Structure 1
Amino acid sequence: MTYSRPRVSIGVPVYNGERYLAEALDAALAQTFRDFELIISDNASTDRTEAICRDYAARDARIRYYRQPTNLGATQNYNRLFDLAQGVYFKWAAYDDLYSPNFLEQAVAVLEQNPEVTVAYGKSYRIDEHGRNVGYEPVDLNLRQASARARYAAYHRRFQQHRNCNAVFGLIRANALARTPRIGNYVASDEVLLGELALQGHIVELPEAFFYRRDHPAMSVRAYKKLSERIAWFDTSKQGHLHLPHWEWIFGQMAAIKRVPQPLMDKLACYWELRWWFPRKRRYLYNETVEWAKNRLRPLPLPIKQFLHAGLRLVRRLGQAVGLFRPRAEKRSSTS
Structure 2
Amino acid sequence: MKVSVVMSVYNAEKYLRQAVDSILNQTFEDFELIMIDDDSSDCSADILQEYKDQDERVILLKNENNLGLTKSLNRGLAIAKGEYIARMDADDISAPERFTKQVDYLDQHPDYSFVSCIGCYINENGNREQLRLFPEANEEIYAMMPKVDAVMHPGVMFRKDDIEKIGNYCEDFRVVQDYDLWFRGMAAGYKFYNIQEPLVLFRRNESYNTRKSKAYRMIDFAVRKKGYRINHIPLHKRIYIVIPLALAYIPPKVMDKLFYVLKGFDPRNKAKEYYQNGKSGTENK
TM-score in same-fold range (> 0.5):
yes
| CA 115–225 in structure 1, closer or farther in 2 if over 3 Å, else same | closer
Equivalent-residue separation in structure 2 for 1:283 and 1:178 (angstroms): 30
Q: Which amino acid aligns with 2:155?
A: F
Counterpart pick for 1:192 among 180, 204, 210? 180
Aligned positions of 1:31-50 closer than 5 A: 31-50=26-45
1:206 equivalenced with 2:195 (yes/no) = yes
SS in 2 for 1:117: coil
Aligned positions of 1:26-105 closer than 5 A: 26-105=21-100
1:266 aligned residue = none
- Percent pairwise identity: 23
Q: Could you list the per-position Cα deviations for residues 55-110 of structure 1 after superposition, in whole angstroms to 9, with x for gaps in the alignment?
A: 00100000011110110122111221111211000011000111110111111111
| C-alpha deviation, 1:207, in angstroms | 3.8
| C-alpha deviation, 1:156, in angstroms | 5.0
Counterpart pick for 1:223 among 203, 206, 210? 210
- Relative contact order: is structure 1 or structure 2 higher (C-alpha 8 Å, sep ≥ 6)? 2
Computing the radius of gyration from Cα coordinates, the structure with the larger value is 1
SS in 2 for 1:94: coil
Gaps of 5+ in 1: 1-5, 144-150, 232-242, 258-269, 286-336
TM-score with structure 1 length normalisation? 0.65
Q: Quick check: which one's helix share is greater?
A: 1
SS in 2 for 1:27: helix
CA contact (8 A) 2:106 2:112 kept: yes
Q: How many residues align?
A: 242
1:318 aligned residue = none
TM-score with structure 2 length normalisation? 0.76
CA contact (8 A) 2:117 2:197 kept: yes
Q: Could you list the per-position Cα deviations for residues 191-250 of structure 1 after superposition, in whole angstroms to 9, with x for gaps in the alignment?
A: 22123334433211224461111101134xx2334323x38xxxxxxxxxxx77634532
SS in 2 for 1:33: coil
1:179 aligned residue = 165
CA contact (8 A) 1:102 1:209 kept: no
1:3 aligned residue = none
| CA 190–281 in structure 1, closer or farther in 2 if over 3 Å, else same | same
1:246 aligned residue = 221
Counterpart pick for 1:281 among 232, 236, 241? 241
Gaps of 5+ in 2: 246-285
| C-alpha deviation, 1:128, in angstroms | 0.8
SS in 2 for 1:70: coil
CA contact (8 A) 2:144 2:150 kept: no
